[in-house]
Structure 1
Amino acid sequence: MFRVLNKLFDNNQRDVQQIVKTIVQPVNALEEEMMGVEDLPAAFAALRTRVQEGGESLDDVIIPAFALIREAGRRSIGKRHYDVQLIGGYALHKGRIAEMRTGEGKTLVATLALALNSLQGRGCHLVTVNDYLARVGADEMGLLYRTLGLTVGLASRELQPAQKQAAYACDITYVTNSELGFDYLRDNMAQSREALSLRAEHPLNFAIVDEVDSILIDEARTPLIISGAAEKATDLYYVYAKLIRRLQKGEPAVPGERAEATGDYTIDEKTKQVHMNESGIAKIERLLSIPDLFSPENMDKAHMITQAVRANELYKREKDYIVNAEGEVIIIDEFTGRSMPGRRYGEGLHQAIEAKEGVKIENENQTLATITYQNFFRLYNKFSGMTGTAKTEEKEFLDIYGSDVLVIPTNRDVIRKDSEDLVYRSKLGKYNAVVEEVKEMHATGRPVLIGTASIVTSEQLSELLTAAGVKHSVLNAKFEAQEASIIAQAGRSNTVTIATNMAGRGTDIKLGGDAESIIGASIESSLGLGRYVPEVEAFITALSRKDPQIVEIGMQIPGMTEEFIGQAQQLHSETVADHERVQQVGGLHIIGTERHESRRIDNQLRGRAGRQGDPGSSRFYVSFEDDLMRLFANERVVSMMDRLGMDDTQPIEAKMVTGAIEKAQARVEDRNFSTRKQLLEFDNVMSKQRDTVYAQRREVLLGPDEAVEESTEGMIADFVDMQLAQYLPIEANADSWDIEGLQAAILDAVPQMEGFDFEGLRAMSPADAQNALLGAVADSFDARKDELSPTMLNSLSRYVLLQTVDQHWKEHLHGMDVLRQGIGLRGYGQRDPFTEYKFEATNMFNEMIDNLKIDVTKFVFRMQFGQTG
């Protein structure tokens, strides 16, 4: 009965059926007609005219557009969109999150929504998690777009400003999430239109976020920050790194067991926080010869010491970070296993880790611009996302982004076999069992992919496999350069691959290996031609189709030889034969060496097997020494193992244990969601302020001279009103007005009013006094205009406004950082920290705006130009 009810209320299935009826079937009906279209660019341009000039919506032209895009794919890259890919393309166009299994061709799906939305002429962005995927996507799908007459750009980090502008000016731009966010922040620090990267008009129109859960959930805990050097002594970090070694780590108080915490400090691994005990505080005060560690003048010391303890206890080398050959501390993304050069922990933590490792400490930075991924992507007119795992996080997508998840059916049924977890008492017992299973699979010729959560684990397993005589490859943050080639060949028979966190790897694993990538790489290295040059693409497509004209097609490539063509054919034939062998022995086998704190990461690892109806299997190995189990799992399971007398060679394979693991993961996911939500709540306060500042700044930067003059005059008028409110309050008697104070404040900003009769204001009503003063200031502004010329004054005003806004905003961000770090202490006074933060932040912003108006007025009236002869 429940199955019947679930079917009745299954909105996902209902939506899919509706899309099939209204989109897929009409597109399929046009397929034969589109095959007869000779000029695809002209046909697609006609649709653009209907949208931009004819007033039709994208939904009005979606059927012929999708049909043309599918035909362009068939002609250019030999890939025809499956019906399920049309469903995914429609979901992306409508701003939804499309969940599609690994191997279902998300890269091709995105072309449908991107090409369709490009018809508006406002630019579309495909956002990826790394440079490799952005480059490959732009290259491979670029052939399809150009077949439709569209332009494609790649906005990579190394481009010069003019090149970046050209990339974003294209119809479709491929870019990484971090580079896109930083380009937005840098644009809002630009001093001229020429310095902008994104489009001046409609900079954020439509985006598709690839691996959307990785970017908008996992990475959303860390905001994007552009920093500049701040003046702060770094040598102290070395001092405190040594000092904390004289402190003793203790155990926290436990109700019913220990009344008080022991040692000098305790740590909370779940929240990654440090708590100093009274004995620790007294010891630090004695060692530093200071009376009160937490007095206002010593707050920096207290903060740096806390960060030193956190760096020592909670951040581990080879797991959280690596130290490269140049002595730089490089963060490792905990979700993808990728190194993140250029990213630094905030609030002095990165410097504390550098001191702990004894490497050079980089100067601490001051925030110049910042935004969270959540608030950044909400700036788009429309955005959507795609990933293999999103349904478990649908509530967060709805709450924060207003996007629901549509699960797209697979093109072929998934036949992968997922086994129950095997749980061991210790890590060693678990690793030994993993090695035995790898040996067993390896003996049959099956390829094996082993997923680990850290570099340390991958290297431990590598040593064990080497000792067991099993040849294998290792992929982690230390070997990212070989990432694509290692993963592309992970489906070959007898291949064993160890990979740290498979999330977001983005390279398809094909059973038998990927001959196309090997041949493409060989052509690039020997002939200097990219994989997606049209002639090379035509040759590789002909190779996969066993085209009888393969030699003639291959010889169109400059420098190609018949000998190379023969070798390529042999390699392709061997790959096809190996594909059959691997299928017969059971396909790719996935081994997870521990459960990740997010179920999505586990599902992504599993999803590497069983693509497009291939056979495959998966199993996770867990121990009670794993972080997830140690911190969150039910201790009754361990007690049960003790009672049963189970040793390290006997695993548990039971749904009860799997249930405990999933509950632990759910608790961690809830905690992480709370962390992200709190980050967003705090950033929402700043977001309103940022929107106000950036909107005014953009109007000054891009607006006509009249708008700049209007803004300047408005600020000057507000400045005058502020002085009147302070020195000539309406509610006070005219005899008590502080005319001398008003005169000093006005002349300090507008020295041209030296001859104004301030004392005469006393005989006027408040309204007349205001009009008289405003009129006199306006006359001074006109005189300044005559002195400099209107054009020069507007140029001066534009420069002054941008420089002054930037300086005050930078100082405001620093103040907000300080406020955020200390606001939690308000909780001890029975006050809600978030309410206090909003109140204080609003006051700080209003004060910043007032000071901004004062400085703009002073600069406009006082700035002098030197004369050169």
Structure 2
Amino acid sequence: MIKRLVESVFGTRQAREVKRLQPILNQIKSHEDRLKALDDAGVQAETQRFRAILAERTDALRAEVERLRAEKHGCPDPVERDALDQLLQKAEVTWKNEVNQTLDDLLPEAFAAVREACRRLVGTTVDVTGQPIQWNMVPYDVQLIGGIALHQGRIAEMATGEGKTLVATLPLYLNALTGRGAHLVTVNNYLARRDSQWMGHLYRWLGLTVACLDDTEPSSQQRRDAYLADITYGTNNEFGFDYLRDNMVFSLEQRVQREYVYAMIDEVDSILIDEARTPLIISGPVGDEDSVHYRGFNPKVAEMVRRQNEVVSGLVAEGEKLLEDEKKKHDAGVILYQAQMGGPKNKKLAKLLNETGVKQLVQRAELDYLADRKLPTKQQSMRNIEESLFFVLDEKGHSVHLTDRGAAALSPNDPDLFLVPDLSLEIHQLEHDESKSLEERAELRRQMEADYAAKSEQLHVIHKLLQAHALYERETEYIVQEGQVLIVDEFTGRIMHGRRWSDGLHQAVEAKEGVVVKGETQTFATITIQNYFRMFEKLAGMTGTAETEETEFYSIYGLEVSVIPTNRPIRRTDHVDQIYKTRREKFNAVAEEVERIHKTGMPVLIGTTSVDISETLSRQLQRRGLVHEVLNAKYHQREAEIVAKAGMKGAITIATNMAGRGTDIKLDPALDLTASEAGLHIIGTERHESRRIDRQLRGRSGRQGDPGVSLFFLSLEDDLMRLFGSDRIARMMDKGGAEEGEVITGKLITAAIESAQKRVELQNFQQRKRLLDYDDVMNQQREVIYSTRLFALERGAELQAEALKMIRAALTKAAENYLADAERPEEFDRVGLHESLLLQFLVPADAVKDADATPTREAVIEAAVAAGEEAFQRKVDYLQEFGGKIGIPEVDLQVLSQVTLSVLDEKWKDHLYDLDQLRNAIQYRAYGQKDPLVEYKKEAFDMFEDLLRDIQATFSERYLKIQVSADGPPPPPPPVMAPPVLNAPSTDDLFNGPVTRTVGPTVVPKITTPGGQGLSHAFGDQTGGAPDPAIGRNDPCPCGSGKKYKKCHGAGA
């Protein structure tokens, strides 16, 4: 009501957007006559003219930036370098502002040139993914408006069929003129390859270069060349993984990406919203002994799940009987709630809940139970509600927990199996037990930690197996093909090839399905989609559905949404939802509706939410003799072909969710579009958690002013209705009094369903925001490590200054720690300190032994640091002299770079593992009335300080002890390459599941140490070796890191 009133006064949002951009549109049109008068060569020459204007206005500023960068890179003095850094930042801002202003000034002419180029290309043929396509596109005015919004760094919401692919060429061309690169990010490989070839026809005619990442191999010269092109197409995963790989290389030449300037994201809601719960991860193997646990416990868990199903069936039967007695209806509600806790998807239970008043009884029992849990333990009357169950499921939270009965069933002979001791308390008691020697206490502590780790591991495995059996359904969350468990994308229905759920869930599902259980992996590098795209100077996106997520786009990415009007009015008819009590009734109604439409000759597109539902519907249509196509995770290879034919006369297509996004469904010219309810009929078989996905499905019909129809069929047994539907919906259904097979429709029920969707959207947004809050903590740390890593790769004066700073810090800390117990100077163990520094760092700090020369604590520390500085300079001189002898310059910088990189990578990898463990454990702080995020920030900061100290000490020790042999400098290691396999964590985790790529063992350069050992050995060779037979895989590592041996120095054993 208020919205309509505002629009009547100020106009619709589309109208306001057109009014805002109309002056720029008029400027574009003003250049058309001039361009039409030019020949082809004249239009093509416009590109060079634009670049000349850019160069004239910005080259001097860019040269100043380059000068300051070079000066800073070669400056050894830290104070002067900081001053240069501030000057550099100001110069960069000035230069980039002038570039952006010049692009804004060039926009009308550049857009007019692209439009004219499109006119000149009409009728030409271009080969697109092996198919000849005739160019027949010239941008409409509304497409120019969309292009303007995209150049301004906004999200352009454009309806399906409005030519977003062509719109993207306008701002991409303009921003590519700078020569700094413009990226077009798509949701899948097919679209990246198709659009780069299709639109590349236009770019090349205008004199620009274009490349597609999917035509190249990771870390190759061809991939590097693809990024050097003016315009680069690729998927979000490829861009993100290239960034991570670039921060794992051992030389600048192995990096493929350049600056992060302008990125335009096609289907921006899919990438920045749907996939934002999916961090990108590069991982490596750490062992496969856990697979034995998964295989070992799987039969017991499977048997327990079977027994639970029997228990739930018995409870449902008991509840149904009690419902017949009016006086026992409350008891019936409690019994049925108990059944719902143990088996929410039980079919008989679902049918009972659809009967009048039953759902309200169960909801009342749930409220009573929650209120009872808040009372003191002795006053709780419903504590025994879980006693008859083996485990309790929480579908909304996607979690499961074992009850006492379940624990007894899994371990009848060992009741203490699931009792995890308070390790900190036991260690505290042990350390104060004077009756035992130090050696005995150390051995007992080692045994305690090993037992604790083993029990925790077993509990973790059982928890994941429970999740796999009770919450993850084959043909819905995943499919099994060729002996592999393949995840199905919940938003698109596509197979997520190579992705793996983390935290052991994937291994649990593999054990459940009886396929090979693959080993555990450890994170080497990770970043979220949000933090990757927030690195770009300017970000833009386009989609058919952005308005519903406008708040999230702005709060996380600072992106505003511009709603672009359609070229022609939308003629699609959207009917209100039809709601049935059961899924069986709903599917029968869908089949009847499809048969009715098919008789008229109009095409039908049926949207489903899972592989299972698509195949159920397929069988129903087969029984009715209706020929149709099925597009789901099993048949994704034919996606484009199936979707392109979905508009043919009489076509029936079943598509899982939004499979085929980006491919237009064009109506068959033979169709009679004057008939009532003509055009493509969209039938939704279930409402998605997000209204946006429903809008996308509707939007497949009614493109470019075509007629169309959309209709959703729902049932009270649908997941959305069952989990998030309020009792208000149930009451409305009861009042409607629908009998079996009858349908209920109405705007009130549709509004209530949308309200349920809004609740889920809010929950999902909070989940994504929470993930970002956690990753922001890591992101700040990642920036520090990666910037230090870049110093190491560039091998300039900055690296030497950073190395000297680390040596000073390490020597200071070592001296402080050694003198910490001495209160007066005469108590200093000067000889011991001298020997300690010599042993650990090979630093002969003779001055620390002289009490006259170093009378105070501060003087002793200064003497130690001074000795470290001298040792550093001696090492530099030694390496430079060695390089001179063998005729190779900068050996000192090469060695310094290699040592720095290996230490950083080793310690950062371990730190990521520690942060993963912290994030998993920190959630339990909520039980102590503490905010887990605040606690995580505190502890992560402390851990990062420890990491920096560890890096400083390890680097100083390794560098100051290093020697090189006469064989010459070490060869550069090969680039870190990931096989073409992606790997995603469980939905009960903080996030929905990372994309993971697995890489092989890291190559460590061989440089000789004083003892004759290889540097890879001195560094703690991560490629493995023979394990110490006295150390168990789950024992604490003897290096003192506090990690299990298998996660530390036994990683490759």
TM over 0.5: yes
**Structure 1 residue 318 and structure 2 residue 417: aligned?**
no
The residue number in structure 1 matching 2:1029 is none
Q: Distance in 2 between matches of 1:339 and 1:242?
A: 28
The residue number in structure 2 matching 1:445 is 601
Q: Distance in 2 between matches of 1:739 and 1:171?
A: 63
C-alpha distance 7-729 of structure 1, shift in aligned 2 (>3 A): farther
Q: Distance in 2 between matches of 1:393 and 1:416?
A: 23
Give the C-alpha shift of residue 290 in structure 1.
4.2
Q: Distance in 1 between matches of 2:530 and 2:12?
A: 26
Deviates more, 1:242-251 or 1:705-714: 242-251
Give the C-alpha shift of residue 704 in structure 1.
4.1
Instruction: Please tell me whether the aligned partners of residues 833 and 848 of structure 2 are also in contact (alpha carbons under 8 angstroms).
Output: no
**Structure 1 residue 594 and structure 2 residue 686: aligned?**
yes
Q: Distance in 2 between matches of 1:113 and 1:32?
A: 21
**Structure 1 residue 133 and structure 2 residue 191: aligned?**
yes
The residue number in structure 1 matching 2:298 is 241
The Cα offsets for residues 319-345 of structure 1, whole Å up to 9 and x where unpaired, read as 1011112x1111100001110111110
Amino acid at match of 1:313: A
**Structure 1 residue 668 and structure 2 residue 760: aligned?**
yes
The residue number in structure 1 matching 2:615 is 459
The residue number in structure 2 matching 1:733 is 824
The residue number in structure 2 matching 1:531 is none
The Cα offsets for residues 99-139 of structure 1, whole Å up to 9 and x where unpaired, read as 11000111111111111111221101100000000001100
Q: Is the partner of 2:239 in helix, strand or coil?
A: helix
Amino acid at match of 2:293: L
Amino acid at match of 2:268: V
2:538 to 382, 385, 395: 382
The residue number in structure 2 matching 1:564 is none
Q: Distance in 1 between matches of 2:217 and 2:727?
A: 54
Q: Is the partner of 1:163 in helix, strand or coil?
A: helix
The residue number in structure 1 matching 2:919 is 820
Give the C-alpha shift of residue 834 in structure 1.
1.3
Q: Distance in 2 between matches of 1:850 and 1:311?
A: 41
Give the C-alpha shift of residue 439 in structure 1.
0.8
The residue number in structure 2 matching 1:231 is 287
Q: Distance in 2 between matches of 1:788 and 1:68?
A: 58
Q: Distance in 2 between matches of 1:829 and 1:759?
A: 53
**Structure 1 residue 166 and structure 2 residue 211: aligned?**
no
Give the C-alpha shift of residue 382 in structure 1.
1.1
Give the C-alpha shift of residue 677 in structure 1.
1.0
Instruction: Please tell me whether the aligned partners of residues 566 and 704 of structure 2 are also in contact (alpha carbons under 8 angstroms).
Output: yes
Instruction: Please tell me whether the aligned partners of residues 524 and 912 of structure 2 are also in contact (alpha carbons under 8 angstroms).
Output: yes
1:155 to 194, 209, 213: 213
1:776 to 867, 881, 890: 867
Amino acid at match of 1:311: A
The Cα offsets for residues 651-680 of structure 1, whole Å up to 9 and x where unpaired, read as 001112111211111111111111111111
The residue number in structure 2 matching 1:94 is 152
The Cα offsets for residues 232-286 of structure 1, whole Å up to 9 and x where unpaired, read as 4111111222221343547348343654324121111111111222332344454
The Cα offsets for residues 358-381 of structure 1, whole Å up to 9 and x where unpaired, read as 000111110111111111111111
Q: Distance in 1 between matches of 2:658 and 2:707?
A: 19
2:878 to 764, 787, 790: 787
Instruction: Please tell me whether the aligned partners of residues 165 and 196 of structure 1 are also in contact (alpha carbons under 8 angstroms).
Output: yes
Q: How does 1:14-53 map to 2 (within 5 A)?
A: 15-38=16-39, 39=41, 40-53=43-56
C-alpha distance 663-504 of structure 1, shift in aligned 2 (>3 A): farther
Q: Distance in 1 between matches of 2:566 and 2:675?
A: 19
Amino acid at match of 1:138: S
The residue number in structure 2 matching 1:105 is 163
The residue number in structure 2 matching 1:261 is 386
Amino acid at match of 1:70: R
The residue number in structure 2 matching 1:534 is none
Q: How does 1:297-308 map to 2 (within 5 A)?
A: 297=453, 298-308=455-465
Q: Distance in 1 between matches of 2:7 and 2:827?
A: 77
1:706 to 771, 778, 797: 797
The residue number in structure 2 matching 1:211 is 267
Q: Distance in 1 between matches of 2:27 and 2:792?
A: 48
The residue number in structure 1 matching 2:243 is 184
**Structure 1 residue 798 and structure 2 residue 924: aligned?**
no
Give the C-alpha shift of residue 89 in structure 1.
0.8
Q: How does 1:639-678 map to 2 (within 5 A)?
A: 639-642=731-734, 645-678=737-770
Give the C-alpha shift of residue 31 in structure 1.
1.3
**Structure 1 residue 609 and structure 2 residue 735: aligned?**
no
Instruction: Please tell me whether the aligned partners of residues 837 and 845 of structure 2 are also in contact (alpha carbons under 8 angstroms).
Output: no
Instruction: Please tell me whether the aligned partners of residues 331 and 339 of structure 1 are also in contact (alpha carbons under 8 angstroms).
Output: yes
**Structure 1 residue 722 and structure 2 residue 725: aligned?**
no
The Cα offsets for residues 550-608 of structure 1, whole Å up to 9 and x where unpaired, read as xxxxxxxxxxxxxxxxxxxxxxxxxx4x2556878711000001111110110000000
Higher relative contact order (CA 8 A, sep 6+): 2
Q: Is the partner of 2:57 in helix, strand or coil?
A: coil
Instruction: Please tell me whether the aligned partners of residues 227 and 369 of structure 1 are also in contact (alpha carbons under 8 angstroms).
Output: yes
Residue identity over aligned pairs, in percent, reads 45
Give the C-alpha shift of residue 21 in structure 1.
2.4
The residue number in structure 1 matching 2:351 is none
**Structure 1 residue 272 and structure 2 residue 273: aligned?**
no
C-alpha distance 741-849 of structure 1, shift in aligned 2 (>3 A): farther
Q: How does 1:342-361 map to 2 (within 5 A)?
A: 342-361=498-517
Q: How does 1:46-61 map to 2 (within 5 A)?
A: 46-55=49-58, 57-61=102-106
Q: Distance in 1 between matches of 2:221 and 2:366?
A: 61
**Structure 1 residue 116 and structure 2 residue 228: aligned?**
no
Amino acid at match of 1:477: A
Give the C-alpha shift of residue 417 in structure 1.
0.3
Give the C-alpha shift of residue 749 in structure 1.
3.6
C-alpha distance 54-504 of structure 1, shift in aligned 2 (>3 A): farther
Instruction: Please tell me whether the aligned partners of residues 479 and 486 of structure 2 are also in contact (alpha carbons under 8 angstroms).
Output: yes
The residue number in structure 2 matching 1:403 is 559
Q: How does 1:382-531 map to 2 (within 5 A)?
A: 382-502=538-658, 505-512=661-668
C-alpha distance 763-857 of structure 1, shift in aligned 2 (>3 A): closer
Q: Distance in 1 between matches of 2:759 and 2:864?
A: 63
Instruction: Please tell me whether the aligned partners of residues 503 and 605 of structure 1 are also in contact (alpha carbons under 8 angstroms).
Output: no
Unaligned stretches of 5+ in structure 1? 513-575
The residue number in structure 1 matching 2:946 is 847
Q: Is the partner of 1:230 in helix, strand or coil?
A: strand
Q: Distance in 2 between matches of 1:145 and 1:271?
A: 48
Instruction: Please tell me whether the aligned partners of residues 682 and 711 of structure 2 are also in contact (alpha carbons under 8 angstroms).
Output: yes
Instruction: Please tell me whether the aligned partners of residues 727 and 739 of structure 1 are also in contact (alpha carbons under 8 angstroms).
Output: no
Give the C-alpha shift of residue 291 in structure 1.
4.4
C-alpha distance 157-744 of structure 1, shift in aligned 2 (>3 A): farther
Give the C-alpha shift of residue 794 in structure 1.
1.1
Give the C-alpha shift of residue 36 in structure 1.
2.4
The residue number in structure 2 matching 1:81 is 139
Q: Is the partner of 1:403 in helix, strand or coil?
A: coil
Amino acid at match of 1:59: D
C-alpha distance 586-744 of structure 1, shift in aligned 2 (>3 A): farther
The residue number in structure 2 matching 1:64 is 109
The residue number in structure 2 matching 1:193 is 252
C-alpha distance 240-157 of structure 1, shift in aligned 2 (>3 A): farther
Instruction: Please tell me whether the aligned partners of residues 749 and 861 of structure 1 are also in contact (alpha carbons under 8 angstroms).
Output: no
State the superposition RMSD in angstroms. 2.2
Q: How does 1:738-757 map to 2 (within 5 A)?
A: 738-740=829-831, 742-753=833-844, 757=848
Q: Distance in 2 between matches of 1:192 and 1:764?
A: 46
C-alpha distance 732-24 of structure 1, shift in aligned 2 (>3 A): farther
The Cα offsets for residues 501-553 of structure 1, whole Å up to 9 and x where unpaired, read as 126621000001xxxxxxxxxxxxxxxxxxxxxxxxxxxxxxxxxxxxxxxxx
Q: TM-score, normalised by structure 2?
A: 0.73
**Structure 1 residue 371 and structure 2 residue 535: aligned?**
no
